[in-house]
Structure 1
C-alpha cells in the first residue's frame, strides 16, 4: 500500500497509517473530522499531528487540508480503524474509491455496514429502507464482481453472536462464498451475468425476510417453543415470499432463497415439502448455509458449535445437498 503522492513513503509508514483521498476527506464533517489527521513531512520523512479529535478546523486550515490531500501528504492512523469503519459504513460506496485500504479493512467495513443496513430494514421492512440496503448490496457485488475471491476476507469475519440481522449477514457472506467456490470457473468464463449475481446476492442476505413478521419474543425465546409458536415460525418462508411483491423484489433468485431455504432434499422440509432436484440450486445451497450459520453463533436457546464440528454435522445430515455440505466442510477446514 504505497502512497501516490510525489514522494516515496518510508518503509513501515504504510503499516501504521493510510493515506486519505479527496473523496474520503470530503465525506468527513468539514470543521470537526471524526478522527486524528496527520501530515507527512518530507524533509524529515515522518508524520506529525495536523488535527486532533475535539478541535475545530478554521476555514483556512480546511483549505490547507484540501491542498495537502491533493499532494498526498495527509494520513490517518490505523489505530483509528474502528472509527473509520463506522464512518465509511454510512457511505459504503467509498470503499470502491479508497485505494489505501487493505482487503481485511474493507471486509470490516462491509460487515459493519451491511449488518447496520439489514438491521434497519428488518426493523422497518418497507420500500424506502430497502432501497438503502439495495444500494449497499450493489456496492458489495461491484466489489466482488471485479475479483470474486475477495469474499475470502469477509468469510473470515462471520458474527459469533446471533441476531436476525447478524444471521442474515453471515448467511449472505457464506452463501456467496459457497457460490463462488462452486462457480469459480463460470465466473472466469463470463457465464455468470451481473444481474443474476446481483439478485442472488440480495436473495442470500434477505432469505429470512419473513422472520420480520414473527414476534421477537418467539424468535429469541430461550425455552422450547410451543406447538403454536413453532407453527408461526414455520410460516416465515411464505410470509417472506408474500412480502417480495410489496418490496418490488419478485426475482426468481430472491424467491428461491426466501421460499426454499427450509426445504430438504429428503422431502421433510417446509413449506412446500419439495425434494431432490425439485428444489432449486440456490434453495439447496441456502438450506445448508442457513442451518450451518445458525449453529456457529451463540443463540438464546443454544450455545455456539465449533465451525468444523458444525460442518461435520450438516455433512452427515441427508437433508442437505452433499455438494454444498462438502464445500462448507472444505471451507471450515481452512479456519484457524
Structure 2
C-alpha cells in the first residue's frame, strides 16, 4: 500500500480505519454496504466519498480502488457491525486486514462461529462442516501468530445458553486452557485438532430432541437417559465426517466423565481419562455454569471457577485453578 505524504491524525484512526484492498474487492463492486471516506491531505481530515447502498459508476469504482491503493480510503468504526457481518462470511479476511483492532477481530470470530455452528447443528453434513472447518483453521492460524490473542475471545464468552453458544464458549475456553496449561507450547497440528474437538465436543446434542434440551422442568429418567446418549451420537458423527482422531474422541466421550468415576457414559475414573478429556470436562462445566439455563441462573465466572476448583474429587484442579487464577487476578 502506497504511503501517504503526511501522517494520518490520531483522531481520524480512532473513529475510522483504513480499508485494505483485499477487503474492498470482497464487497459488491457497484453497491458496497458501507459509507466510504477519503482523507484529504490538504485539510488533514476525512470527507465523504460515497454512502452505503449507493450505486457507483465505473469511474467511481476505479477512483475507489485508487484511493484504497494510496492508503487514503476509510470506513467508520460505527459501521463495524456491517463490516464484521461481511467478514464473518469470509473469515480469512481477518488475517489480511491490519486495520482491525484485536477486540474487533474477537467479535468477528465469535459472530462467525455462532453462524457456522448454527448451520452445522441444523444440518450436520460434510458440505456444511467444510465451511466450519475452514473458519476454525483461520482461528488457529490467527492464534499461532500470537497465542495471547485468545484472551480477547475469552472476554467475550456468551451468557445466553444454547447448543450453539455453549459450543462456541467451550471452543474458546478449551483452547484458552490448552494454551495456558502448555504455556503456548502447542504444535500447529495439535492446535488444529484440539480446536476442532473443543468446538465440536458436544455435537452429539444436535441429535437429541429439542423438547428435552430446552425443558425447564426436571428431566424424567427416560429423558436423562436420552441426554446421556449424546457422547455416543457425537462419536458416530465424528466418524462419519472423518474426525475420529484422538483429541476429538477424547473431547466427545470424556467431557462428562469425572475423576471419581461418577460421570458418564463409561463411568471411568481419573487414571483412565485423558488430559484433554479432563481439560474439556472443566471447560464444558465452566461454560454451562456461566450461562442462564432453564433450570439454573448464570454464575459469575470467578464463582464458577472457584466451584470447580473446590470440587477436586471430580474435576482436575490444574485446569480449574488456571481459570480461577485468571478471573481472580482480572487477567480475563
Q: TM-score range by the shorter chain?
A: over 0.9
User: Do structure 1's residue 220 and structure 2's residue 220 form an aligned pair?
Assistant: no
2:132 alignment partner in structure 1: 133
Aligned with 1:329 (options 308, 312, 324): 324
For 1:125-204, what aligned pairs fall within 5 Å after superposition?
Answer: 125-184=124-183, 187=185, 192-204=186-198
- The equivalences for 1:163-312 within 5 A come to 163-184=162-183, 187=185, 192-312=186-306
Q: Residue in 2 aligned with 1:63?
A: 62
SS of equivalent to 1:196: helix
TM-score, with length taken from structure 2: 0.97
Equivalents in 1 of 2:7, 2:271: separation in Å? 58
Q: Report the counterpart of residue 49 of structure 1 in structure 2.
A: 48
CA RMSD of aligned residues (A): 1.4
1:219-252 per-position Cα deviation (integer Å, ceiling 9, x unaligned): 1111111111000001101110111111111111
Separation of aligned partners in 2, 1:33 and 1:253: 42
Q: State the aligned residue count.
A: 330
Q: Does 1:122 align with 2:116?
A: no
What is the distance in 1 between the residues matched to 2:146 and 2:78?
28
**Alpha-carbon distance in 2 for matches of 1:256, 1:6:** 56
Q: Name structure 1 gaps, 5 residues minimum.
A: none
What's the CA shift string for 1:267-292, capped at 9, x where partnerless?
11111111113101110000011011
2:13 is matched with 14
Structure 1 position 335, deviation (Å): 6.1
Give, in angstroms, the shift of residue 19 of structure 1.
Answer: 0.2
SS of residue matched to 1:106: helix
Aligned to 1:34: 33
Tell me the equivalent position of 1:109. 108
Distance change (3 Å), C-alpha of 1:312 and 1:26? same
Find the counterpart in structure 2 of residue 89 from structure 1.
88
For structure 2, list consecutive stretches of 5 or more residues without a partner in the other structure.
none
User: Contact 1:220 / 1:300 at 8 angstroms: preserved in 2?
Assistant: yes
CA–CA distance in 2 between the matches of 1:332 and 1:174?
A: 13
Task: Give the C-alpha shift of residue 4 in structure 1.
Answer: 5.1
Distance 1:53 1:70 in 2: 20
With normalisation by structure 1, the TM-score equals 0.96
1:297-328 residue CA offsets vs partner (Å, 9 max, x unmatched): 11222211111111111111120001111011
